[in-house]
Amino acid sequence: MSPGGGGSSVLQGVVSATLPNERFLCRAADGSEVTCHVAGEMRMKVVRLLPGEGVVIEPSPLDPSKGRIVGKAGRQS
């Protein structure tokens, strides 16, 4: 089962920039740019994300350029 609880695929990525309205620009491991928001489970834990932080991204099934952050993967450079 994926970290987000759904059955969809997940990607490893790095936060590139913070955007308004609690959104983040992330670069996935395959090189694509994904605009993400923090999943509700992580928002309840009051997780702070900074540029350069490794994250787990669950892409949207309708638009692969959007997704949600379902976990932290550790700091990457």
What does the pLDDT look like over 25-54, one tens digit per residue? 999 999 999 999 999 888 888 778 999 999
Specify whether domain 11-74 bears CATH 2.40.50.140. Answer: yes
CA distances from 20 to 23, 35, 37 (A): 6, 11, 10
- Between 55 and 77, the higher pLDDT residue: 55
Across the chain, the runs of DSSP E, i.e. the strands, are 11-19, 23-28, 33-38, 53-59, 66-75
- Between 2 and 55, the higher pLDDT residue: 55
% of the chain with per-residue pLDDT over 70: 84
